[in-house]
Structure 1
Amino acid sequence: MKKRVTLTFPRRIVQMPITYRLATEFNVAANIIRAQITPNQSGKLVVELSGDIDALEAAIDWMGMQDINVSLTTAEIVIDRDRCVDCGLCTGVCPTGALRLDPKSFQLQFDRPRCSVCEQCIPTCPVQAIATNL
């Protein structure tokens, strides 16, 4: 099973090796989608957790006991086709290849299942046609 979560770390545990502990103690893989961590301040990670449902729940409970705020992420990328000018700038920053220009029509194609919701495309769009649904 997979769960996408946002982890917010308090200052005192920002140096804790969370992904290592998830892997070794709970057999849960953590694919880091986005990280924003400032040493000696706070941290925020968007991760996709993979593992057995019981292991995932135990890992999430453990993180809560460590004062890590865990929130489920349900965001998806949405593209406003009325605003999009099919410039292709977003395709250059998409790490999963979910965004691409069709070689025949030169129109933007979005493969939603490939999207990791890393949000790198959002600030790249010059006409602000890309956003999250939250």
Structure 2
Amino acid sequence: MKKRVTLTFPKRTVHMPVTYRLAKDFNVAANIIRAQVAPNQIGTLVIELSGDIDELDAALEWMRSLDINVSLIGREILIDEECCVDCGLCTGVCPTQALTLDPQTFKLNFIRSRCIVCEQCIPTCPVQAISTNL
């Protein structure tokens, strides 16, 4: 099973090797999607966790016990097809190729299953056709 979560670390736990502990203690693989972590600051990590459902739940509870705020990601990228001009600028910043231009029609294609909601496409869109549902 996979779960995407946002972790918010208090200043005192930023130094902890969380992804190492997830793998070693809970047999949970952690794919880091986005990270903003610095010493003596609140840290944020968007991460996709993979593993057995019971191990995932135990890992999430362990992180909560360390005062790490765990939020399940329910956001999705939305594209206003009426506003989109199919310029393709968003395809250049999409790390998973969820956004591509059809080589024959030059229309924007969005493959939702590839999207990791990194939001890099949102500020890139010149006509503000891309947003999130939250």
Question: Match for 2:5: what amino acid?
Answer: V
Instruction: Give the corresponding residue for 1:42.
Output: 42
Deviation at 1:38, TM superposition (A): 2.5
Q: Distance in 1 between matches of 2:132 and 2:38?
A: 24
Give aligned pairs, total: 134
Unaligned runs of 5+ in 1: none
CA distance in 2, matches of 1:17, 1:83: 44
In the alignment, is residue 8 of structure 1 matched against residue 8 of structure 2? yes
* Backbone CA RMSD of aligned residues: 0.8
- The list of structure 1 runs, each at least 4 consecutive aligned residues, that deviate by more than 6 angstroms after superposition, is none
Matches within 5 A, 1:1-134: 1-134=1-134
**Hey, what's the Cα distance between the residues in 2 that align with 1:64 and 1:111?**
33
Could you tell me how far apart the structure 2 residues matched to 1:107 and 1:39 are? 44
* CA drift at 1:7: 0.4
What percentage of aligned pairs have identical amino acids?
74
Which letter maps to 1:63?
Answer: M
The one-letter amino acid paired with 2:92 is G
Rounded Cα–Cα distance in structure 2 between residues aligned with 1:33 and 1:128: 23
Structure 2 letter corresponding to 1:94: C
C-alpha distance in 2, partners of 1:9/1:121?
26
Gapped regions of structure 2 (runs ≥ 5):
none
**Matched position secondary structure for 2:58:** helix
Q: Secondary structure at the match of 1:12?
A: helix
AA of the residue aligned to 2:28:
V
**Counterpart amino acid of 2:120?**
Q
Question: TM-score of the superposition, structure 1-length normalised?
Answer: 0.97
Structure 2: which amino acid aligns with 1:98? Answer: A
Q: How far did residue 127 of structure 1 move? A: 1.0
